[in-house]
């Protein structure tokens, strides 16, 4: 696990300056790799890396690393979980190795098979830069689901790349012009969708994307293409027989076990995050099965101020599987004191409220282990969000109504105050089925009303934070694929954009800020392919989602685990913004750069802030998005 950086472009006489610049770019990423550093350059190209040593802790694992022939030079961020199997194939073909790490396997694979064939053989998370000395070409590549980040910027005479934006900002002449559509996207969705970034002249390499750069007449020519595409996976799955019943359950169980087992490869201590829910419990249970009699170390945050403290449930689950469990007690002051550093940790505006407890969890666990498994990905692959279960119902039923009825009905529901709907929901809660006992029912009714009133795809309505009516600029839209089924469309968008641009960004930045690696077994590409062979109706039905994972949990875990409703990891931001964080929020909202720039409606912001302070509405998500933009502007453009 590492931070990587580099550049292509310029004259050979500037070789030393190129290497020095690459080194300075990588130095900004030292939190991603505190154990070692290295740089390499030749003529008009330079590569640099900061290393967090996970596999092969010896000098044989240092980067940049060249293949034995010297043709390929690589800097690499991530892990190749099947590298030992690939190494056996390479050794059988006559390749020799000096160390035991996956980077050496990677460079020799490039030598033997070429770039794209090698990428297709990899099971792992990675962002890499590979320079082909024979062809004088620099290649950038990102893993299938986007676990590891890679940013790049291109001008006619130069290409720059780095694991985080901070690696680009130190380059002399870097143009830090804000992309107003990206700000609007952050306010609309709580994240910036790839390939866009907060800067107009910087792009993210998309999941499964490949970039080739070469000099031609003194100018840098760049082209990109997909080497793996989720849409193609979904199309192939639709042409195969559906995977259902016991056969689906057997294949899922076997793949979960293998995806977890291969991610236990480590030369440093490894553990697993464990909440009270299904996904992390299944990952931990599979890890414990693979370890046999050696207890897996599991970790849970206990913070009484969290809306749903799952520490007791997690401890019971760990005891049932024989894990060695640690509950990390955190206080409200721990969380509140961290809020001011969020802009620096994430380096780019980001507004998922669970970023605060996630950062606290990673910081605490990093003192115990260097690698941790996570249960991320189950919701996106197996329909675990409320919008997959309830939004689809509303969308289908709304489609049956003529627009002349749908519009007035939606506007009428939307006119009922949220506080009134919340009180009604609280009164009915005791007599409702458990899967209908939703928090913040008023906001959910208003989203259903917006679906009725609008004739559009359900995802933007259900996933949005600020309304487009409140934004002064049209936001960049997350990439999605059109499918006939509305739930399939939501799952595609959630996997391709929410998972890559929100969930995995949250995990990567929080863990790397603590110099710790997090591995995510449930998004193993083989599980992605399997999940899309299971029909939507077999994933979500009767008001419940993630049915295949629930059946697996019922077979392997204590009975209460498989029946637990989905609980978020969000802190009580609504309450904090009314007390501990109010002076900080007052200051940022009172001098809003987003309002001054015309990105957000000033009257709308003041109305939302006033309603929130009065307690009439909980606008925590909307306000958090604004506050993250404002704190980032003040940190980097103040």
| Per-residue pLDDT at 57 exceeds 90 | no
Helix, strand or coil, per DSSP, at residue 431 = helix
pLDDT (average), residues 166-174: 95
pLDDT at 520: 98
> What whole-number distance in Å separates Cα of residue 148 and Cα of residue 52?
14
Bridge partners for 79 per DSSP: 125
Nearest-5° Cα angle at 274, 270 to 280? 95
Nearest-5° Cα angle at 607, 476 to 621? 50
The pLDDT tens digits of the residues spanning 573-629 come to 999 999 999 999 999 999 999 999 999 999 999 999 999 999 888 899 999 999 999
| Per-residue pLDDT at 219 exceeds 90 | yes
Q: Are 356 and 337 in contact (CB under 8 A)?
A: no
> What whole-number distance in Å separates Cα of residue 157 and Cα of residue 362?
40
Q: Are 76 and 63 in contact (CB under 8 A)?
A: yes
Which residue in this structure is represented by tokens 């087992």?
Answer: 261
pLDDT at 484: 66
Give the lowest-confidence range in 72-81, 360-369, 436-445. 436-445
| Per-residue pLDDT at 132 exceeds 70 | yes
Confidence of residue 428 (pLDDT cuts 50, 70, 90): low
| Per-residue pLDDT at 52 exceeds 60 | yes
Greatest alpha-carbon pair distance for the chain in Å reads 77
The pair of three-digit structure tokens given for residue 436, joined into one six-digit string = 């209908």
| Per-residue pLDDT at 425 exceeds 70 | no
pLDDT (average), residues 548-562: 88
> What whole-number distance in Å separates Cα of residue 336 and Cα of residue 356?
9
Confidence of residue 366 (pLDDT cuts 50, 70, 90): very high
Which contiguous run of DSSP H or E holds residue 298? strand 297-302
> What whole-number distance in Å separates Cα of residue 546 and Cα of residue 379?
7
Give the lowest-confidence range in 142-146, 330-334, 622-626. 330-334
pLDDT at 600: 97
Per-residue three-class SS string for 477-538: CCCCCCCCCHHHHHHHHHHHHHHHHHHHHHHHHHHHHCCCEEECHHHCHHHHHHHCCCCHHH
pLDDT at 308: 61
DSSP string, 366-415: TTT-SEEE--TTHHHHHT-SHIIIIIHHHHHHHHHS-HHHHHHHHHHHHH
pLDDT at 417: 73
pLDDT (average), residues 108-131: 98
Give the lowest-confidence range in 35-39, 489-493, 626-630. 489-493
The pLDDT tens digits of the residues spanning 441-458 come to 767 777 777 777 666 677
The pair of three-digit structure tokens given for residue 254, joined into one six-digit string = 């076997």
Q: What are phi and psi of 471, to 5 degrees?
A: -95, 140
> What whole-number distance in Å separates Cα of residue 617 and Cα of residue 492?
31
Q: Are 213 and 136 in contact (CB under 8 A)?
A: no
Which residue in this structure is represented by tokens 């980067």?
Answer: 63
Helix, strand or coil, per DSSP, at residue 54 = coil
Burial class (CB in 10 A: 0-12, 13-18, 19+), 577: buried
Name the average pLDDT for the chain.
90
Q: How much of the chain exceeds pLDDT 70, in percent?
A: 91
Q: Distances in Å between the alpha carbon of 204 and those of 5, 150, 155, 196?
A: 14, 6, 15, 6
Pick 335 or 30 by higher pLDDT. 30
| Per-residue pLDDT at 117 exceeds 70 | yes
Confidence of residue 294 (pLDDT cuts 50, 70, 90): very high
pLDDT at 432: 60
Q: Which is nearest to 212 in space by CA: 148, 161, 147, 145?
A: 161
Q: Are 523 and 381 in contact (CB under 8 A)?
A: yes
Helix, strand or coil, per DSSP, at residue 270 = strand
pLDDT at 387: 85
pLDDT (average), residues 97-115: 96
Which residue in this structure is represented by tokens 């941790």?
Answer: 372
pLDDT (average), residues 542-548: 88
| Per-residue pLDDT at 486 exceeds 90 | no
The pLDDT tens digits of the residues spanning 501-533 come to 999 999 999 999 999 999 999 999 999 999 999
Which contiguous run of DSSP H or E holds residue 233? helix 230-238
Q: Are 305 and 549 in contact (CB under 8 A)?
A: no
Q: What are phi and psi of 347, to 5 degrees?
A: 70, -20
Nearest-5° Cα angle at 603, 340 to 576? 30
The pLDDT tens digits of the residues spanning 78-99 come to 999 999 999 999 999 999 999 9
Q: Are 222 and 159 in contact (CB under 8 A)?
A: yes
| Per-residue pLDDT at 77 exceeds 60 | yes
Q: Which is nearest to 154 in space by CA: 135, 136, 138?
A: 138
| Per-residue pLDDT at 12 exceeds 60 | no
pLDDT (average), residues 342-347: 95
> What whole-number distance in Å separates Cα of residue 505 and Cα of residue 253?
27
pLDDT at 291: 96
| Per-residue pLDDT at 438 exceeds 70 | no
Which residue in this structure is represented by tokens 């590409």?
Answer: 525
Q: Are 273 and 280 in contact (CB under 8 A)?
A: yes
Sign of the Cα pseudo-torsion (90, 95, 99, 101, in order): negative
> What whole-number distance in Å separates Cα of residue 51 and Cα of residue 570?
32
Burial 489-521 (b: 16+ CB within 10 A, else e): bbbbbbbbbbbbbbbbbbbbbbbbbbbbbbbbb
The pLDDT tens digits of the residues spanning 239-282 come to 999 999 999 999 999 999 999 999 999 999 999 999 878 999 99
> What whole-number distance in Å separates Cα of residue 633 and Cα of residue 638?
6
Confidence of residue 389 (pLDDT cuts 50, 70, 90): confident
Q: Are 177 and 199 in contact (CB under 8 A)?
A: yes
């Amino acid at each position: 696990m590492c931070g990587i950086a580099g550049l292509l472009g310029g004259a050979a006489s500037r070789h030393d300056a190129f290497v020095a610049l690459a080194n300075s770019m990588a130095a900004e990423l030292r939190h991603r790799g505190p154990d070692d550093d290295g740089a390499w350059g030749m003529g008009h190209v330079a590569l640099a890396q900061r290393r967090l040593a996970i596999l092969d802790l010896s000098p044989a694992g240092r980067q940049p690393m060249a293949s034995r022939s010297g043709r390929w030079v690589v800097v690499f961020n991530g892990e190749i979980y099947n590298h030992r199997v690939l190494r056996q194939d390479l050794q059988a073909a006559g390749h020799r190795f000096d160390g035991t790490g996956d980077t050496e396997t990677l460079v020799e694979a490039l030598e033997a098979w070429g770039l794209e064939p090698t990428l297709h053989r990899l099971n792992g998370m990675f962002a890499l830069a590979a320079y082909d000395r024979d062809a004088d070409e620099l290649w950038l590549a990102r893993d299938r689901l986007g676990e590891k980040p890679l940013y790049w910027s291109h001008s006619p005479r130069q290409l720059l790349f780095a694991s985080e934006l901070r690696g680009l900002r130190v380059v002399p002449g870097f143009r830090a012009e804000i992309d107003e559509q990206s700000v609007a996207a952050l306010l609309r969705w709580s994240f910036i969708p790839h390939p866009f970034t907060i800067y107009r002249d910087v792009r993210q390499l998309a999941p499964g994307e490949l970039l080739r750069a070469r000099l031609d007449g003194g100018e840098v020519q760049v082209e990109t293409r997909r080497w793996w595409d989720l849409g193609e996976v979904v199309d192939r799955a639709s042409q195969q027989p559906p995977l259902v019943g016991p056969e689906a359950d057997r294949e899922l169980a076997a793949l979960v076990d293998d995806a977890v087992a291969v991610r236990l490869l480590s030369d440093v201590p490894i553990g697993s995050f464990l909440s009270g829910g299904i996904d992390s419990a299944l990952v931990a249970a599979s890890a414990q099965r693979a370890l046999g009699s050696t207890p897996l170390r599991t970790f849970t945050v206990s913070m009484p101020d969290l809306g749903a403290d799952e520490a007791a449930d997690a401890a019971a689950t760990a005891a049932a599987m024989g894990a060695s469990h640690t509950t990390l007690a955190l206080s409200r002051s721990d969380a509140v004191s961290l809020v001011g550093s969020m802009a620096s940790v994430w380096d780019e505006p980001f507004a998922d409220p669970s970023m605060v407890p996630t950062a606290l969890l990673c910081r605490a666990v990093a003192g115990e282990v260097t690698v941790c498994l996570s249960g991320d990905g189950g919701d996106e692959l197996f329909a675990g969000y409320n919008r997959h279960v309830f939004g689809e119902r509303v969308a289908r039923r709304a489609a049956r109504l003529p627009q002349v009825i749908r519009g007035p009905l939606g506007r009428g529901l939307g006119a009922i105050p949220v506080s009134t709907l919340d009180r009604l929901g609280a009164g009915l809660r005791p007599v409702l089925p458990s899967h209908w006992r939703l928090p913040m029912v008023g906001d959910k009714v208003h989203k259903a009303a917006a679906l009725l009133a609008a004739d559009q795809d359900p995802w933007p309505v259900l996933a949005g934070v600020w309304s487009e009516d409140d934004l002064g600029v049209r936001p960049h839209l997350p990439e999605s694929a059109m499918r006939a089924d509305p739930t399939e469309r939501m799952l595609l968008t959630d996997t391709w954009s929410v998972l890559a641009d929100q969930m995995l960004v949250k995990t990567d930045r929080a863990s790397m800020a603590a110099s710790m690696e997090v591995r995510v077994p449930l998004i193993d590409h083989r599980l992605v392919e399997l999940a899309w062979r299971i029909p939507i109706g077999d994933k979500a039905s009767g008001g419940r989602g993630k049915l295949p994972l629930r059946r697996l949990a019922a077979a392997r875990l204590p009975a209460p685990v498989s029946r637990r409703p989905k609980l978020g990891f969000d802190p009580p931001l609504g309450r904090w913004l009314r007390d501990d964080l109010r002076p900080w929020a007052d200051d940022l909202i009172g001098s809003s750069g987003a309002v001054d720039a015309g990105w957000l409606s000033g009257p709308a912001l003041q109305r939302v802030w006033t309603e929130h302070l009065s307690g009439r509405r909980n606008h925590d998500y909307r306000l958090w998005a604004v506050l993250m933009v404002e704190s980032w502007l003040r940190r980097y453009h103040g």
